[in-house]
Amino acid sequence: MKFLHTSDLHIGLRLCEVSMNGEIVHLLNEITEIARRENCEAVVIAGDIYDRANPSAEAARVFDDFVTALANAGIAVLAVSGNHDSPERVAYLARLTEERGVYFSQVFDGEMQKVMIGNVNFYLLPFVRPVNVRACCDAFEGVTYHDAMTAVTGEAERENGRKNVLVTHQFVIPGGAPEKTPEDAESHATAGGIGAVGADVFAQFDYTALGHLHRPHSVGSERVNYSGSPVKCSFSEVNDEKSVTVVTAEDEVTWVRIPLHPLRDLREMRGTYDEIVSPEYRARGNCEDYLRIILTDEEDIPDAMAKLRTVYPNLMRLSYDNLRTRQTYSGEIAVQDGEAGSPVEVFAGLYEMQNNAPPAEDLLKLAAELFEEAEKEAAQ
């Protein structure tokens, strides 16, 4: 059989206070079309369905439309909750939706949920922390995420002629158990606050469909695979090529990545103001893409954001990289005469760098009061 693996939809995402739902809907429609074209029997969603645990009504409708379109096409849906999701919300009415071939992970009760489709046993495992396993399994004495995964996934059994596929949402690294540290065993080697799990723990599965990391890649083995997110969720992902993974489970399990085509890309542009607005720069991409522009002019351009938006209407962020900013800022900390400034000065510098204007006096006063309160609490 064939199935499509995706994850980290992050429906409801707002980037620089701009809703990305229009972009997400476009990509979900493309994913549905790919699943139909490739004759997939199922679509697997490995967590972070929503961008937040309490999604908006609009976000819920977007996901409902996506799942309904797949179900109407006769394509099964298997989804687990991620660290951004509420497991209770994802599990709501799950037993009822199974009648339409839509399987949502249940709230973790100590065991993996098993779904049989074609020649594949799908094991659905929502994002879990060691504390969740301890609450359900009296015999569990582990302290790390790797310990938790080892305890939970051990129940998967081989069946003649069938393939085992795990769908889960974790931070996975190559090799075995990460080294434990006495300082904080649960969070050692983390991504997004999630402790690391060694990929070797998934050796009994023919394919592990992972979510959590947004760049598509395999971990230690071709059988342990991140699909990556379909949408670019931050400017750190501007150079990523987004895709979905189509998996074929026959005698051997193989997969291919199929690229996605955004309605508007997320891009970064760098240059002087005159260069940025020139026809040559405009021709480099869609002027309606979501943009971060870094101006290299030594003098600030008056009303630069407003002027640039007449050419690039979806400009999200504007900053400067010139002699002044390089002398003023070291990383994200304001520096004066080689010394870091006061907390209020650091705040003011960061605010101006982000908003291209200094903070108002009442905001500075509020910041000073908050820093003073924090210092008093720290001294107690």
pLDDT, residue 184, reads 45
Cβ atoms of 277 and 260 closer than 8 Å: no
Burial code of 101-134, b = ≥16 C-beta within 10 A, e = fewer? bbbbbbebeeebbebebeebbbbbbbbbbbebbb
Residues 236 and 344 in one domain: no
Please tell me whether residues 121 and 147 are part of one structural domain.
yes
Phi, psi (deg, nearest 5) at residue 241: -105, 115
CA 101 to chain centre: 26
Q: What's the rounded Cα separation, in Å, for the pair 243 and 366?
A: 45
Q: If DSSP states are collapsed to H, E and C, what string results for the chain?
A: CEEEEECCCCECCEECCEECHHHHHHHHHHHHHHHHHCCCCEEEEECCCECCCCCCHHHHHHHHHHHHHHHHCCCEEEEECCCCCCHHHHHCCHHHHHHHCEEECCCCCCCCEEEEECCEEEEEECCCCHHHHHHHCCCCCCCCHHHHHHHHHCCCCCCCCCEEEEEEECEEECCCCCCCCCCCCCCCCEECCEEEEEHHHHCCCCEEEEECCCCCEECCCCCEEECCCCCCCCHHHCCCCCEEEEEEECCCEEEEEEECCCCCCEEEEEECHHHHCCHHHHCCCCCCCEEEEEECCCCCCCCHHHHHHCCCCCEEEEEECCHHHHHHEECCEEEECCEECCHHHHHHHHHHHHHCCCCCHHHHHHHHHHHHHHHHHHHC
Rounded CA separation 229/211 (Å): 8
Angstrom distance (rounded) from CA 128 to CA 202: 15
Residue whose C-alpha is closest to residue 8's, from 247, 245, 272, 189: 245
Alpha-carbon distance 84 to 146, whole Å?
20
Based on the fold, state whether residues 320 and 208 are members of the same structural domain: no
d(CA 263, CA 285): 12
**How confident is the model at residue 353, as a pLDDT?**
60
334 is written with which tokens?
A: 């304001």
Hey, which residues does 44 pair with through a beta bridge?
Answer: 5, 78
Q: Are residues 203 and 224 in the same domain?
A: yes
Final residue before a domain boundary, out of 235, 259, 283: 259
CATH code where residue 74 lies: 3.60.21.10
Is 70 within 8 Å of 33 (Cβ atoms)? no
Same domain assignment for residues 360 and 239: no
Write b or e for each residue in 226-261: b if 16 or more Cβ atoms lie within 10 A of its Cβ, otherwise e. bbbbbbbbebebeeeebbbbbbebeeebebebeebe
**Contact between residue 286 and residue 265 where contact means Cβ atoms under 8 Å apart:** yes
Q: What is the mean pLDDT of each run of 10 residues along the chain (380 residues)?
A: 97 94 98 98 98 96 97 98 95 90 94 94 95 89 90 82 95 84 49 82 96 95 96 93 97 96 96 96 94 94 95 94 73 41 72 66 75 63
Same domain, 72 and 136: yes
Tokens of 82: 């991620």
Same domain? For 247 and 289 the reply is no
To 10 degrees, what angle do helices 343-355 and 361-379 make? 140
What global pTM score does this model have? 0.83
Owning domain of residue 350: 266-379
Identify whether residues 272 and 254 lie together within a single domain.
Answer: no
Tell me: do 271 and 243 sit in the same domain.
no
Q: How many CB atoms lie within 10 A of CB 265?
A: 16
Token readout for 164 is: 């085992």
Q: Rounded distance, CA 236 to CA 284, Å? A: 20
**Are the beta carbons of 287 and 311 closer than 8 angstroms?**
yes
Among the candidates 213, 241, 259, a domain finishes at 259
Q: Are residues 145 and 279 in the same domain?
A: no
The pLDDT score that the predictor gives to residue 348 is: 75
Same-domain pairing of 255 and 303: no
pLDDT tens digits, 42-69? 999 999 999 999 999 999 999 999 999 9
Among 230, 259, 288, residue at a domain's last position: 259
- The answer on 98 and 24 residing in a single domain is yes
Domain count for the chain = 2
